[in-house]
Amino acid sequence: MDFNLPEEITALRASFADFIDRSVRPLEDDIAVEFDSPAPDRDRIRQVMDEVRAMSVDAGFFAAHMPESVGGQDLSTLGMTVLVEDAARSGSRLAMTAVSPPNPAGPSSLLLKLPDHLLEQWVRPVVTGTKTACFALTEPEAGSDAQAIRTKAVKDGDGWRINGHKHYITNASHADFTVVFAVTDSEKRAAGGITAFLVPADQFRRGPTQWNISDTHPGELFFEDSWVPDDHVIGEVGLGFFAAMEFLNAGRAFIGAQALGLAEFSLDAALSHVQTRTAFGKPLAAFQGASFPLAQSKVEIEAMRWLVYHLAWAVDEGQNPMLDASIVKYYSTEQAYAVADRCLQVFGGMGLMKSGPIERVLRHLRMLRVVEGASEIQLLVISRALTAR
Ligand SMILES: Cc1cc2nc3c(=O)[nH]c(=O)nc-3n(C[C@H](O)[C@H](O)[C@H](O)COP(=O)(O)OP(=O)(O)OC[C@H]3O[C@@H](n4cnc5c(N)ncnc54)[C@H](O)[C@@H]3O)c2cc1C
């Protein structure tokens, strides 16, 4: 066993830190007032995010985990995991835009199941940041129980006709295309009856934005006699549910890395605060009531780190580590939330202010405990794996 990160990943990490400091932070300073405003200029924020994405594509970071054949850098999952961690740890609200995962607007290996001519048309532009995507599985009547989706696709000529309604879809408002999951055999459902399709934006209607406690605002999508040709099936007809689960499992190292980075950022901020803020004539750090929760947080962060790195390593080894992926999703999002909550506490009132460092982190982590398989669903997967032995 070698617990050291490979040298090339350590070097990449250093150049990514430099990129954040030199290219991202100045833009962040320019736009900070918008982020903290009760009525932010969302167009301006999006414009700056697009700028960061374009700079990151040029610097070779954005979708580095994708194959070179579609414009990526063939970076390992471990390499990308560390970049996601560092983006989150930086505390920059724009830095997460500089790396495509775990955002479903960016490219994923799921799209590589498309035929070659569509890779050029749809996948390369997402890798190079000129187009964005979305991943449309959830419906009003089917969230955790995803195999219960009602969206249907029926064969029509040399293509498929799709009808249905999706909600809570990240980047629904701007995506150039969606990956949509539809029932193609209502008897088989998850066991061979759900298919994934690439649907261009001119074939669906967007519903209203769904504002929520996080800063990522999903939306609704309506498929009303949408039609796509046969070659827009992603992978094989009937195997879409497996593809969705594969996509979610592969992405869990990145969600874990994001949670880990946000927990590290919270602890970094809390540590400097308790050393400078005084109460009862002493720095807060002198009181065990303030320092012990931070020590506990450090322990949990180290446990999180090794679970996350191990999962990334297992994915790079070609394994499909479903159990490890669920353990990482569950532990990292739950513990990172607990860490951020403790760190918020040592900030007192400032912890609750939008202008303070932790408030937005806590809101984001609260969201991560629900999306892409809520914590209870991860426990369900873990308990099934245990009792099946
Ligand atoms: C900000 C945001 C972005 C999102 N982005 C996307 C996206 O891009 N694409 C997409 O397809 N979806 C997306 N989602 C949807 C998200 O994945 C679902 O909200 C999530 O899977 C939970 O489904 P649900 O909301 O229908 O809750 P429900 O399925 O109704 O579950 C409600 C509660 O019941 C619990 N529960 C359910 N079943 C069980 C069980 N068997 N045992 C114990 N507890 C159980 C759940 O854990 C949950 O806490 C997004 C959601 C949000 C909030």
Which atom of ligand 1 is found nearest the CA of 136? Answer: 11
Contact 227, 218 (CB under 8 A): no
Kindly provide the b/e burial profile for residues 247-256, where b requires at least 16 CB atoms within 10 angstroms of the residue's own CB. bbbbbbbbbb
The SS3 assignment for 92 reads: coil
Render pLDDT for 135-171 as a digit per residue (tens, 0 to 9): 999 999 999 999 999 999 999 999 999 999 999 999 9
Query: Measured in angstroms, how far is the CA atom of residue 23 from the centroid of ligand 1?
Result: 36
The pLDDT score that the predictor gives to residue 107 is: 95
**Catalytic: which of 28, 334, 359, 372?**
372
Render pLDDT for 354-368 as a digit per residue (tens, 0 to 9): 989 999 999 999 999
Candidates 26, 30, 34, 15; CA nearest to 73 is 15
Pairing type for strands 177-183 and 194-200 reads antiparallel
All residues at 6 or more sequence positions from 359 whose CB lies less than 8 Å from its CB, including other chains:
344, 351, 352, 353
Render pLDDT for 206-224 as a digit per residue (tens, 0 to 9): 999 999 999 889 999 999 9
Which atom of ligand 1 is found nearest the CA of 142? Answer: 26
Domains of the chain: 7-101 (no CATH), 133-239 (2.40.110.10), 251-387 (1.20.140.10)
Nearest CA to ligand 1 atom 38: 144
Instruction: For residue 372, indicate whether it is catalytic.
Output: yes
Ligand 1, from 333, 370, 379: best to mutate by most atoms within 8 Å of Cβ? Answer: 370
Contact 105, 371 (CB under 8 A): no
Query: Measured in angstroms, how far is the CA atom of residue 110 from the centroid of ligand 1?
Result: 21
The pLDDT score that the predictor gives to residue 301 is: 98
Q: How confident is the model at residue 389 (pLDDT cuts 50, 70, 90)?
A: low
Tokens of 152: 């249907």
Is pTM, for the whole model, over 0.95? yes
